[in-house]
Amino acid sequence: MTRRDALKLAALALASACVGSKPDAIAYDTDACAFCRMTISDPRFAASIMLVKGRTLKFDSIDCLIAYYDQANAAHQIASVWVDDFRRPGTLIDARSARYVDLGGGRAPMGGRRGIAAVSSDADAASLGVNRTRSWAELL
């Protein structure tokens, strides 16, 4: 590693340390989805990505989040990913610890093709009548 590369890495680490631990709050019925531009109105399906430089991107559904995630992750731009808890609308949970359920097509905003919702535990999924959950890695 060259001295220049080491300095870039140190600057990136410093910038990451300055970023807050949670994304900016979603202003429902005001903020627009960073992927499809639809107004974010349903707090059961919304999601956010915090970029390494501190900017928060907001999404109206987990489908839109995933569509955007692939390119941003490949470019190493993502600091953290957050999803709204379907059982506790408006409550963000870390996407890596969430459990994902398929509610069926047409249930998510814009008639999301998969109808994916996030919950904080398998017990919450069972209370929705769903027996099978997936992890973030399985969802991707």
The structure's pTM equals 0.79
Whether the Cβ atoms of residue 113 and residue 63 lie closer than 8 Å to each other: yes
pLDDT of amino acid 16: 47
**Predicted pLDDT at 19:** 47
List, in sequence order, the alpha helices (H) in the chain: 3-18, 62-74, 122-127, 136-139
- Which residue ranges make up each domain of the chain? 20-139
Tokens of 126: 């069972």
In this structure, the dihedral spanned by the alpha carbons of residues 4, 51, 114 and 90, taken in order and rounded to 10 degrees, is 160
CA angle, 105 then 121 then 117, to 5°: 20
Residue 75: the pLDDT is: 86
> Which residue ranges in the chain fall short of pLDDT 50?
6-12, 15-19
The predicted pLDDT at position 105 comes to 64
Q: Check residue 118 and give its pLDDT.
A: 95
CB 72 within 8 A of CB 99: no
In whole angstroms, what is the distance from residue 54 CA to residue 49 CA? 10
